Amino acid sequence: MGYNPSGVNPYAPSRMPSRPFGVALLAVLIGIYGVILVLAGVAIAALSSLFTFQATLEFLSLTGLVLGLVLFVLGLVFLGVAIGLWHQRLWALILCVVVLGIFLYSALVPWTGISNISIWFVVELILFVYLLAVHRHFL
C-alpha cells in the first residue's frame, strides 16, 4: 500500500447528508414555479411595450412594465430558494418556514379577509410541520 498523507481511508463510504424526498420535491416544485414567474415577468414586460405607441394606454405600459419586473424578481427569488433547498441550506429552510408561518397566520386572523380554513391551509400546515421535522438535514 502506498503512503496516504491525508490519513483518510479512501475505501470508507463518504458521509454526505441525505436529502429527504419531500425536500427534493419541494425544491423542484418551487423551482418550476420560479421559472414560470420569470417567464411571465418577461412576457408581461415585453407585451406592455406594445402599449407605448398609444398615448391613451401609456398607463398600461408603465403598469405592465412594473408588474413584469416584480414578477421577474420574485421568480429569481423563488429560484434561489429552490436551489437553497436542493443544497439543504439553512437560510432556505428558515425563509420557507417564515413564509409558511405568515401564510398560516394570515389564514387564521379574520382581519386579513382570508379567514377560512381551506385545503391550502392544510397543505401549508403539513409543509410547515414537515420542514420543522427535517431541519436536522440542513447545514
Q: Three-state SS string across 22-81, please?
A: HHHHHHHHHHHHHHHHHHHHHHHHHHHHHHHHCHHHHHHHHHHHHHHHHHHHHHHHHHHH
Average pLDDT over every residue of 52-59: 62
Together in a domain, 34 and 69: yes
pLDDT above 70: residue 117: no
| Last-in-domain residue among 68, 87, 106 | 87
Does a structural domain hold residue 5?
no
Number of domains in the chain: 2
Does a structural domain hold residue 7?
no
Domain holding 31, by residue range, is 20-87
* pLDDT, greater one: 16 or 9: 9
* Nearest alpha carbon to residue 132 among 100, 108, 102, 86: 100
For residues 17 and 137, the answer to whether their CB atoms sit within 8 Å is yes
Together in a domain, 61 and 105: no
Does a structural domain hold residue 1?
no
Does a structural domain hold residue 131?
yes
Together in a domain, 27 and 58: yes
Together in a domain, 65 and 105: no
Average pLDDT over every residue of 33-58: 82
pLDDT above 80: residue 111: no
* pLDDT, greater one: 119 or 67: 67
* pLDDT band per the 50, 70, 90 thresholds, residue 121: confident
Most confidently modeled of 2-16, 34-48, 109-123? 34-48
Does a structural domain hold residue 2?
no
Average pLDDT over every residue of 1-22: 67
pLDDT above 60: residue 114: no
pLDDT at 115: 52
Does a structural domain hold residue 10?
no
Does a structural domain hold residue 70?
yes
Does a structural domain hold residue 15?
no
**pTM as predicted:** 0.75
